[in-house]
């Protein structure tokens, strides 16, 4: 049931709520909290209300929607009350504020708050620079934002980091719950080795990818690279380098992920992108500060940003021998005498004198030591002095 109250006051809205409750025969409200949604009046308002209705089936609450309308209009409050099937397991109060009243959302919310229940504020789209200092944010114990819904998600995430106050959280962090659970479960299987470095790839404007990389950097205390994925939405791939090989969790299609690690068969896991209502319901389960989210925010500065993601382990293994530079080995065994073979350049530590190897033969076995007077070459008689070069050459010709 939807009841419209145009050009009304908060006192009249409260009286109507009491009347509806008495007519319905409800003695107690049975609400566990008050959820205040702050947004601009428009098409996105209904999306936020639908998400709150779905979340209220797990958390019965009173939902107050502050929909700010045109600032240049005459000051006016249009209210709408939704109960029953149109409000899920809650009661929804939509307050459309116009003119100067659009900046006074907190004053309109206070008379409608449930007594002795927590207050949660949610900005589904653009949030204030410092949510804890916003008039509505000051009324709430928990403040929920969504950096992914901002015009510049990465910049918005940096703003969350600079303005963090205990009680703040972001749906970009909530979307990581399944990823963090799968990565943590990978360490429950042998071999039990430490991670030496990590890389997280995803869309360039995905704040969840940045937060996941920061979480790994904070708790693994290893270098973490954040790179842009060639394709895919949101988070695409996570690679953890260990001594035995690479632990990789990839989700290229945004629905199903693949977990692979050395010594274990590949496992397919459900990693579908989470909807807003699921993330909101999860955040309403806890009303205390999220210390892990705070730690991840502070670790954003430790993440190294790269342009493109590295290739998979199999591709890197195939490419390694082809791209390895060929280095001549002075001690390599020759297949036979080669009078035109290119001479090996001498170094300062191992330089053979010209008299050590007769012309026209290649050394066999290990490279001769320049400092050893007993070095032999191809069974030829060892030259005893520099003046016996001619004799040594004739001896080699008859061997």
> Which of 217-221, 224-228, 301-305, 319-323 has the weakest average pLDDT?
319-323
Find the mean pLDDT for residues 33-47.
93
Backbone angles phi, psi at 166, to 5 degrees: -50, 125
- pLDDT at 109 > cutoff 60: yes
- pLDDT at 154 > cutoff 70: yes
Who's near 186: CB < 8 A, 6+ residues apart? 240, 247, 249, 259, 261
For residues 59 and 107, give the distance between their C-alpha atoms in angstroms, rounded to a whole number: 25
For residues 283 and 335, give the distance between their C-alpha atoms in angstroms, rounded to a whole number: 73
Distances (CA, A) of 188 to 66, 182, 244, 249, 301: 46, 10, 15, 15, 29
Please check whether residue 132 is in contact with residue 165, taking contact to mean a CB–CB distance below 8 angstroms. yes
Q: How far apart are the first and last CA of the chain?
A: 111
For residues 55 and 59, give the distance between their C-alpha atoms in angstroms, rounded to a whole number: 6
Name the helix (H) or strand (E) containing 381: none
Tokens of 300: 């954003």
> Which of 12-21, 227-236, 303-312, 389-398 has the weakest average pLDDT?
389-398
Find the mean pLDDT for residues 274-292.
94
The band of 209, judged by pLDDT with boundaries at 50, 70 and 90, is very high
70 secondary structure, DSSP code:
-
Higher pLDDT, 329 or 19: 19
The band of 320, judged by pLDDT with boundaries at 50, 70 and 90, is very low
- Per-residue pLDDT of 362-376, as tens digits, reads 434 444 444 443 433
Q: What is the pLDDT of residue 200?
A: 97
Q: What is the pLDDT of residue 26?
A: 60
Q: What is the DSSP pairing of strand 235-242 with strand 224-228?
A: unpaired
Tokens of 329: 């080995």
Share of the chain above pLDDT 90, in %: 60
The band of 222, judged by pLDDT with boundaries at 50, 70 and 90, is very high
User: Residue 12, CB half-sphere, CA atoms under 13 Å: how many?
Assistant: 12
> Which residues are registered as beta bridge partners of 250?
237, 258
329 secondary structure, DSSP code:
-
Q: 397: buried, middle or exposed (CB in 10 Å: 19+, 13-18, 0-12)?
A: exposed
Q: What is the pLDDT of residue 31?
A: 87
For residues 198 and 226, give the distance between their C-alpha atoms in angstroms, rounded to a whole number: 9
- Per-residue pLDDT of 177-191, as tens digits, reads 999 999 999 888 888
Over the Cα atoms of the chain, what is R_g?
36
User: Residue 367, CB half-sphere, CA atoms under 13 Å: how many?
Assistant: 18
Q: What is the pLDDT of residue 22?
A: 83
- Per-residue pLDDT of 85-100, as tens digits, reads 777 777 899 999 999 9
Q: What is the pLDDT of residue 89?
A: 72
Tokens of 241: 């380098």
- Per-residue pLDDT of 185-208, as tens digits, reads 988 888 889 999 999 999 999 999
Q: What is the pLDDT of residue 85?
A: 75
Please check whether residue 386 is in contact with residue 361, taking contact to mean a CB–CB distance below 8 angstroms. no
Q: What is the pLDDT of residue 310?
A: 52
> Which of 137-146, 212-221, 236-245, 310-319 has the weakest average pLDDT?
310-319
- Per-residue pLDDT of 324-356, as tens digits, reads 443 334 333 333 433 343 433 333 343 344 444
For residues 251 and 239, give the distance between their C-alpha atoms in angstroms, rounded to a whole number: 12
DSSP per-residue string spanning 275-304: PHHHHHHHHTT--S--HHHHHHHHGGGGPE
Q: What is the pLDDT of residue 358?
A: 40
Find the mean pLDDT for residues 48-68.
93
Mean pLDDT score of the chain: 81
Alpha helices by DSSP H, listed for the chain, are 10-24, 43-56, 105-109, 153-162, 171-174, 177-186, 207-220, 276-283, 291-298, 313-323, 389-397
Task: Of 138, 136, 73, give the one whose Cα is nearest residue 100.
Answer: 73
Name the helix (H) or strand (E) containing 196: strand 195-202
Task: Of 118, 248, 261, give the one whose Cα is nearest residue 191.
Answer: 261
Distances (CA, A) of 276 to 50, 191, 203: 10, 37, 19
Who's near 290: CB < 8 A, 6+ residues apart? 169, 173
Q: What is the pLDDT of residue 105?
A: 93
- pLDDT at 107 > cutoff 90: yes
């Amino acid at each position: 049931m939807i009841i419209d109250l145009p050009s009304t006051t908060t006192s009249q809205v409260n009286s109507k709520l009491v009347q509806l409750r008495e007519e319905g025969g409800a003695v107690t409200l049975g609400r566990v909290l008050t959820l205040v949604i702050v947004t601009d009046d428009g098409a996105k308002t209904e999306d936020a209300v639908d998400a709150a209705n779905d979340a209220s089936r797990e958390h019965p609450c009173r939902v107050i929607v502050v929909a700010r309308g045109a600032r240049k209009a005459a000051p006016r409050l249009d209210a709408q009350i939704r109960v029953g099937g149109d409000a899920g397991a809650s009661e929804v109060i939509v307050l459309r504020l116009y003119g100067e009243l659009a900046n006074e959302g907190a004053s309109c919310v206070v008379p409608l708050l449930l007594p002795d229940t927590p207050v949660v504020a949610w900005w589904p789209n653009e949030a204030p620079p410092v949510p804890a200092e916003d008039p509505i944010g000051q009324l709430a114990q928990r403040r929920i934002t969504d950096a992914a819904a901002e015009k510049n998600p990465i910049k918005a995430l940096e703003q969350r980091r600079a303005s963090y106050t205990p009680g703040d959280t972001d749906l970009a962090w909530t979307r990581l719950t399944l990823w963090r659970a799968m990565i943590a479960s990978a360490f429950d299987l042998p071999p039990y080795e430490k991670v030496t470095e990590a890389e997280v790839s995803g869309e360039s404007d995905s704040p969840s990818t940045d937060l996941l990389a920061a979480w790994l950097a904070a708790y693994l205390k290893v270098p973490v690279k954040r790179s842009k994925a060639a394709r895919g939405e949101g988070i695409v791939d996570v690679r953890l380098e260990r001594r035995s090989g690479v632990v990789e969790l990839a989700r290229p299609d945004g629905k199903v992920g693949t977990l692979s690690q050395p010594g274990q068969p590949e496992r397919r896991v459900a990693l579908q992108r989470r909807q807003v209502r699921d993330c909101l319901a999860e955040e309403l389960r806890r009303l205390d500060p999220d210390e892990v989210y705070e730690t991840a925010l502070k670790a954003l500065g430790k993440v190294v940003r790269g342009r493109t993601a590295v290739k998979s382990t199999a591709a890197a293994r195939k490419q390694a021998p082809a791209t390895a530079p060929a280095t001549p080995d002075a001690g390599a065994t020759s297949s036979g005498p080669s009078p035109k073979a290119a001479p090996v350049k001498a170094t300062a530590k191992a330089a053979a004198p010209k008299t050590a190897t007769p012309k026209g033969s290649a050394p066999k076995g290990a490279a001769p030591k320049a400092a050893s007077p007993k070095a032999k070459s191809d069974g030829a008689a060892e030259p005893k002095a520099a003046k016996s070069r001619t004799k040594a050459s004739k001896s080699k010709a008859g061997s």
